[in-house]
Amino acid sequence: MVEIIVSVVIEVAKCLAPSIERQFGYVRDYTRNFKNLNNQVEKLEGDIVSMENAVNDAERKGEEIEQNVQNWLASANKAIVEAKKFVGDEATENKHSFKGYCPNLKMRSRLSKEAVRQLDAIVKLREDGRFERISHSIIPEDTLLMSNKGYEDFESRMSTLNDILGALRNPDINMLGIWGMGGIGKTMLAKQVARKAKNDKLFDLVVFSEVSQSPDIRKIQGEMADKLGLTIREESESGRARRLFSRLKKEKRILVILDNIWEYLDLQVVGIPHGDGDKGCKVLLTARSLEVLSWKMESQQNFVVGALAEEEAWSLFKKMAGDYVEGSELKCVARDVAKECAGLPVSIVAVARALRSASIFKWRDALKQLRRPSSTNFKHIQPAYKAIELSYNKLEGEELKNLFLLIGYAYVESIDELLRYGVGLGLFQGISKLEEARDRVSTLVYELKASCMLLDEGLSMHDVIRDVAISIASAEKNVFTATGELFDGCKEWSDESAVKLYTSIVLRDIKTNVLPNGVQLEYPQLKLFSVRADHQESSSLTIPNNFFERMIQVRVVNLTYMNLLPLPSSLGLLSNLRTLSLCNCKLLGLSVVGDLKKLEILCLRGCGFSHLPVEVGQLTWLKLLDLRDCWKLEVIPPNILSNLSHLEELSMGDRSFYKWEVEVGGVKNASLQELKHLHNLTSLDLHIKDVNNLPRGLFFEKLERYRILIGYFWNWKYNIYSRDFRIELNTKVCLKDVLIVQLQGIEHLGLEGLQEQDVQNFVNEFPNLKSYTNVVTPAYL
């Protein structure tokens, strides 16, 4: 009925003016216009969902969404709301027009015209939503510079801080320095300078990097690149320097802070612009020596950081020890203890924390110890030495003390490394399982940090505290440690009587062959032997074939960046060896490890070898096998892994062996089925690229920690201490498969190939889940 009336009216309109015919055309196309509008609304809603998924994925990667994408999403959502309201209003008005039997033609023309306008707007929005990119990488804030935790606004520091900021404003100064004794607060002040300079908009960007006593150029370059949001793909040091230099030159105003300089550092080799032609880049250095800054680095202006004034020191001491030291009985002796710290912040913090909540007699005893003379090796920092030595003596238990000394003299950098050393040396009494030992290590590290004997970042240790740890270990434990060019091999090995007493030998950043060759030395007391070569000189550093012949008691051998082509045959004579760690070494002839029947830990991380020898299968007491980053490893013969019946931790990662059951050079590789025989396994780090190799029931309920990636495309930065499971789903692997649900307590889940509507039902099966990612192949209209 409605359509008949409209047709008659339009025929009449054709005889009238064109504008009238156009208006009635809106009436004629009324139904079609609204149908088209509804179709485009549905398509725009689909576009919005796809865009929001892409935005969420970009944000998870830490990227910033382009402003035009944000504006488009806002406009698109607004258009959807407006269109749906309009369509709803139209239905109401149409219903009221004599129940639809006698339409209001004027109203129909107006509504149809508005539908066309909204339709055109939505079509344009969909066209505008085709972006070349939706996000861009951002430079993350440096967490070291975000918080001023630990910094105190002392009056003696404020004037220095303001003077440094004033020098940074001077256009004629492009390099300046902060110097003072170890533990005086140079790093804290430099970080505060960075925060103030950034907040006062003196610089667009501030980059902070630690240099240390043995500078690692690649590490410095990498640390700076990370903070600049720069990816360096060049392998050569000079190529990396050019890339970093080019990036820094693009900044109009940038401050580079290089902390803890010990010797001359060639900024050009690192890739830092410096000189009259690079006014936009300023460099701030910290060092213990004014000579290093003024003469070697040619810093234009330098600022000394001295000890805290007495009242400042007392204020810091009270803050660390607690206000109870103001009590009448304790205040006098506490003030005397604070004075013995000589205004050195690191000493004040260490002593105050050690005596926090202690009784009066402990305070008196501490004061007596602080006033006793100590090692003449620390005559320039006697107060710091005595203070830190006191904190060491206050550590509860030999276990905690031994772990502190070990971290110090062995330069331990991670929990994993500390576990390998500790288990090998038998430091953890009454503990037989690695998982228990790992928990114990974490507890002891927490206690050391709470005592201010370790810094918050990883296992970092303050330089002065490390010096004291080495001194104590040398005096009390007969530990010998040396670094780089400071080690005179000929002189040290010539003292046979001293060598016989060594319990540990730790050599770091060694550049030349310093181990005795042809000389039969005896090491009857030696328990730990560690050599870390300078990674740039590692190709020339070797170990004599007979070197280990008389190390009958050694329990831990750690070799890093060494040339072990081949592995010394005398290594097989170490019948008491518990830990063998060969990291980033050139390896050949690994079969000798089969003689190490008591070996519990074997770490071959980053080593370049292609075949895992069958002799490894003879290590039936092995508890930990680390093959991560063994990118050349192609062959693992059958029955090696299944023979390791005591294995508790297996780490292979995503850059190591993956050719399960593949024949290589006439040898068929091991099957994943072998892992089912490892009934003691509690930690697994594994990447299975081909899902066809995956047997059912592979993963066990006993796994406490795992990082398991299944599929070709996963590449994930991870923390092996979490429970991380990621899988590409296909017809061979279904959601309810027992191989998935057997894993207990999944905390981080990654899925690919699961439809979005099924995600929530699946995710609900894992109550401990902290995060999940679902990658869905987008469907395009």
Domain that holds residue 406: 395-469
d(CA 271, CA 273): 6
Q: Which range is least confidently modeled, 109-113, 584-588, 614-618?
A: 109-113
Q: How far is CA 623 from CA 125, 190, 220, 399, 419, in A?
A: 61, 45, 35, 22, 12
- The CB density around residue 419, as the number of other CB atoms within 10 Å, is 22
Which single residue is written with the structure tokens 């080495």?
A: 470
* pLDDT per position as a tens digit, 714-744: 555 555 557 777 776 654 555 445 455 456 6
What average pLDDT score do residues 498-509 get?
A: 90
Element spanning 8, H or E: helix 2-13
Q: Above 80 in pLDDT, residue 517?
A: no
Q: Which range is least confidently modeled, 117-121, 127-131, 452-456?
A: 452-456
| Claim to verify: residue 272 and residue 154 sit in the same structural domain | yes
**Which of the two residues, 429 and 576, has the higher pLDDT score?**
576
**Total structural domains within the chain:** 3
State the pairing for strand pair 504-510/563-564.
Answer: unpaired
| Claim to verify: residue 184 and residue 232 sit in the same structural domain | yes
* pLDDT per position as a tens digit, 75-114: 989 888 888 888 777 666 665 554 555 566 677 777 788 8
Q: Would 88 be classed as within a structural domain? A: yes
Q: How far is CA 749 from CA 583, 700, 739, in A?
A: 30, 17, 14
pLDDT of residue 658: 86
Please give the mean pLDDT across all residues of the chain.
Answer: 82
| Claim to verify: residue 151 and residue 300 sit in the same structural domain | yes
The answer to whether residues 285 and 264 touch, using CB atoms and an 8 Å cutoff, is no
| Claim to verify: residue 296 and residue 425 sit in the same structural domain | no
| Claim to verify: residue 230 and residue 260 sit in the same structural domain | yes
Confidence of residue 477 (pLDDT cuts 50, 70, 90): very high
pLDDT of residue 713: 57
Q: Per-residue DSSP letters for 108-170?
A: HHHHHHHHHHHHHHHHHHHHHT--S-SEE------HHHH--TT----HHHHHHHHHHHHHHH-
Q: Which of 439, 469, 499 is the last residue of a domain?
A: 469
Confidence of residue 193 (pLDDT cuts 50, 70, 90): very high
Q: Per-residue DSSP letters for 646-682?
A: T--EEEEESSS---TT-EETTEEPPPGGGGGG-TT--
Q: Would 276 be classed as within a structural domain? A: yes
pLDDT of residue 716: 53
Is the previous residue joined to 18 through a cis bond, with omega within 30 degrees of 0?
no
Q: Would 70 be classed as within a structural domain? A: yes
Q: Above 70 in pLDDT, residue 588?
A: yes
Which letter, b or e, does each residue of 275-285 get, where b requires 16 or more Cβ atoms within 10 Å of its Cβ?
A: eeebebbbbbb
| Claim to verify: residue 98 and residue 158 sit in the same structural domain | no
HEC sequence for 482-499: EEHHHCCHHHHHHCHHHH
Q: Above 80 in pLDDT, residue 174?
A: yes
| Claim to verify: residue 125 and residue 157 sit in the same structural domain | no
d(CA 446, CA 120): 64
Q: Which of 71, 106, 137 is the last residue of a domain?
A: 137
pLDDT of residue 143: 59
Q: Would 335 be classed as within a structural domain? A: no
Which single residue is written with the structure tokens 């020890």?
A: 321
Beta bridge partners of 302: 177
Q: Above 90 in pLDDT, residue 409?
A: yes
Q: Would 505 be classed as within a structural domain? A: no
Q: How far apart are the first and last CA of the chain?
A: 37
Most confident range, picked from 83-87, 370-374, 567-571: 567-571
| Claim to verify: residue 148 and residue 132 sit in the same structural domain | no
Beta bridge partners of 560: 532, 583
Q: How far is CA 145 from CA 169, 287, 559, in A?
A: 20, 19, 35
Assign residue 162 the CATH number of its domain: 3.40.50.300
The answer to whether residues 730 and 752 touch, using CB atoms and an 8 Å cutoff, is no
What average pLDDT score do residues 372-397 get?
A: 69
pLDDT of residue 383: 64
The share of the chain scoring above pLDDT 90, in percent, equals 27
The answer to whether residues 536 and 561 touch, using CB atoms and an 8 Å cutoff, is no
The answer to whether residues 739 and 715 touch, using CB atoms and an 8 Å cutoff, is no
Question: Does the reported pTM lie above 0.85?
Answer: no
CA angle 38, 40, 46 (to 5 degrees): 110
| Claim to verify: residue 19 and residue 129 sit in the same structural domain | yes
The DSSP 8-state label assigned to residue 593 in this structure reads G
| Claim to verify: residue 399 and residue 285 sit in the same structural domain | no
* pLDDT per position as a tens digit, 236-271: 889 999 998 988 888 889 999 999 898 899 999 999
The answer to whether residues 645 and 620 touch, using CB atoms and an 8 Å cutoff, is yes
Q: Which of 137, 155, 185 is the last residue of a domain?
A: 137
| Claim to verify: residue 49 and residue 152 sit in the same structural domain | no
